[in-house]
Amino acid sequence: MLPAAQHVRAVYLGDDGVLAGARPGATFVDCSTIDPDTVRAVADAAAQRDFPLADAPVSGGTGGAQAGTLTFMVGAPAALFERIRPVLLDMGRNVVHCGGTGTGQIAKICNNLLLGISMMGVSEAMALGAALGIDPAVLAGIINTSTGRCWSSETCNPYPGVNDAAPAARGYSGGFAANLMLKDLGLATEAARSARQPVWMGALAQQLYQSMSQQGLGTLDFSACVKLYEARTSA
């Protein structure tokens, strides 16, 4: 699992990369979150050396990794998927065959597009409630037993004091960095451009996470986006 497409290309395709040094019979499973075109290019290069490669990005966060409850979104031919599925089940709870090479990345990009938007929405609602005078813990409890409930409101609520297991309870350390969310939203908006598909809310969320990064908040968990709203309230 590598941070970005350039790292994946370098590690696989470099003169001293893993494809150049792999033993016959090796199978590659890449869990990076990158663009589908890079995955397909690397998979084609691997196939030229008779190495099968599947893309298998994950969802579930650091908590899911520690608990072994990750979801793997796998892009691979059906036979390759069946071969690697038992290995992935040792690390995760859900292993889903999304289709051919690159479709795992498509699923992950769409999931994180929604996640980035939903965290901004939860932060906006929580900040509004706090500004109007309701206890954030009370508001979160109402949301999480009502139609606004989602992962961002329940498992990773951005307000301290709501969920003791969320990054907000430890100063937004750990978790999923805002800079990584910004990267993933960049993947989504670029994919949308190539598909001529509008992602208006995703583009706005991308701008807000970019603002976080510019303010020096990019290494914090992405739920620290609530600080953007708090700064407005205190201004």
We report the CATH number of the domain holding residue 127 as: 1.10.1040.10
Residue-level length of the chain: 235
Do the strands 70-75 and 92-99 form a parallel or antiparallel pair, or are they unpaired?
Answer: parallel
pLDDT at 69 over 80: yes
Same domain, residue pair 132 and 197? yes
Query: What long-range pairs does 92-96 form, CB within 8 A, spacing at least 24?
Result: 92/58, 92/60, 92/64, 92/68, 93/68, 93/69, 94/70, 95/71, 96/71, 96/72
Average pLDDT over residues 102-122: 97
Q: Is 108 one of the catalytic residues?
A: yes
Same domain, residue pair 228 and 112? yes
Same domain, residue pair 88 and 126? no
The residue among 101, 128, 153 that closes a domain is 101
Same domain, residue pair 73 and 120? no
Residue numbers of the domain that contains 153: 106-234
pLDDT at 235 over 60: no
> How many domains, the chain?
2
Question: Which residues contact residue 109 at a Cβ distance below 8 angstroms, ignoring those fewer than 6 apart?
Answer: 33, 35, 36, 184, 187, 188, 191
Average pLDDT over residues 109-136: 97
**More reliable by pLDDT, 15 or 112:** 112
Which pLDDT does position 169 carry in this prediction?
97
pLDDT digit string (tens) for 8-34? 999 999 888 999 999 999 999 999 999
Average pLDDT over residues 31-60: 95
pLDDT at 231 over 70: yes
pLDDT at 166 over 70: yes
* Inter-axis angle of helices 136-143 and 103-132, nearest 10: 130
- Structure confidence at residue 64 as a pLDDT band (50, 70, 90): confident
Task: Give the Cα-Cα-Cα angle 23, 27, 29 (nearest 5 degrees).
Answer: 130
Contact 205, 99 (CB under 8 A): no
The residue among 101, 134, 169 that closes a domain is 101
pLDDT digit string (tens) for 207-229? 999 999 999 999 999 999 999 99
Same domain, residue pair 96 and 110? no
- Structure confidence at residue 234 as a pLDDT band (50, 70, 90): low
Same domain, residue pair 91 and 58? yes
**More reliable by pLDDT, 184 or 234:** 184
Selecting among 32, 52, 108, 180, the annotated active-site residue is 108
pLDDT digit string (tens) for 150-160? 999 999 999 99
Instruction: Give the distance, in angstroms, between the CA of residue 204 and the centroid of all CA atoms in the same chain.
Output: 17
Same domain, residue pair 55 and 118? no
Which pLDDT does position 63 carry in this prediction?
76
- Structure confidence at residue 67 as a pLDDT band (50, 70, 90): confident
What tokens appear for 59 in the block? 């969802």
